[in-house]
A and B are shown apart, each in its own frame.
Chain A
């Protein structure tokens, strides 16, 4: 049994999430220490470094696992093992996916080029003529925004087609480059509009958690949606967020801070 893991990510929260994914447990089962705080670019120069954390299982949790009471919670992460080859070739949860390591301009360009190639093939196959605008997001992620024409078919119901296009574009890009970097596909800013809605949900849950002094569990969300909530609340010292449950019912829990 793995009892300890080092997690890396752009922020401490995301580094912890990565380590939790490795351990296959939820945040309430562990304690952690921050090995390295993320450092920001100074005047746009220098290396941007992510956070590193050491996360270990609490003794009482180990005892529970030995008792067999927590065995069920361990299983979902181990479903992965019959498909070992897949880990390298596809996007995992984007939270765990970010390496936190700074990529050079050339590497970022390579990510953008590979992702653009893929999205262009997809657009062509849909018989859609559109422009693809490339830019970098706040977290260094590559964002490709598809602009022009009737985009309803690319978005699909509840954005499901768009999410699928993103899953495939990321997987193919990662496979081609041999390393992982977050790639976001958007359609005329659709995600931005949805992002604003999700942030609103997160802020309301945080207000309620603080007011009631109890954790608030949100509806099940995709990894991308959860990421938006984690990021929108990470600077709020009054609350902590964690993801709980198994896909596709995994959801964010917003808890009042213990301090």
Chain B
């Protein structure tokens, strides 16, 4: 039985659901060597919502996206472009 996860669309769902301006959300996937980084950009007014108090939200996003990627055997990181 093979399961496939879709971390990228999950990331898009999470970020667009948390911000006031979902249309301003863009997610770039950067692959270099063996590592993948998702770079999130949002409206400047929404940066705080994606990061959360003391980084609480971005930490949760990272944990969940890494877990989803691990289902496919991938290692990823998530960054917010400020």
Interface residues, chain A, with chain B CB atoms under 8 Å away: 79-80, 82-87, 89-90, 92, 118, 121-122, 124-128, 153-154, 156, 160-161, 163-165, 167-168, 171-172, 175-176, 247
Contacts and interface: CB of A to CB of B under 8 A. Distances in A.
A172 B10 CA distance: 13
Contacts of A118: 17
B67 A126 contact: yes
5 contacts: A86-B52, A125-B5, A161-B63, A163-B60, A164-B60
Interface in B1-29: 3-7, 9-10, 13-14, 17-18, 20
B61 interface: yes
Contact of A172 (B14, B20, B53, B63): B14
Place the interface of chain B in its size category.
20 to 34
Contacts, number: 94
B75 interface: no
Given A127-B6, A153-B67, A85 B49 contact: yes
A171 B71 contact: no
Contact of A121 (B4, B10, B46): B10
Give the interface SS of chain B, mostly helix, strand, loop or mixed.
helix
Interface of B: 3-7, 9-10, 13-14, 17-18, 20, 45-46, 48-49, 51-54, 56-57, 59-61, 63-64, 67-68, 70-71
A80 B53 CA distance: 6
Contacts of A247: 54
Give the interface SS of chain A, mostly helix, strand, loop or mixed.
helix
A82 B72 CA distance: 37
B48 A164 contact: no
Given A83-B51, A86-B53, A156 B67 contact: yes
Nearest to A168: B60
Contacts of A153: 67, 70-71
A117 to B, nearest CB: 10
Contact of A90 (B4, B52, B63, B64): B52
Residue of B5, B48, B61 ringed by the most chain A CB atoms within 10 A: B48
B70 A79 contact: no
B14 to A, nearest CB: 6
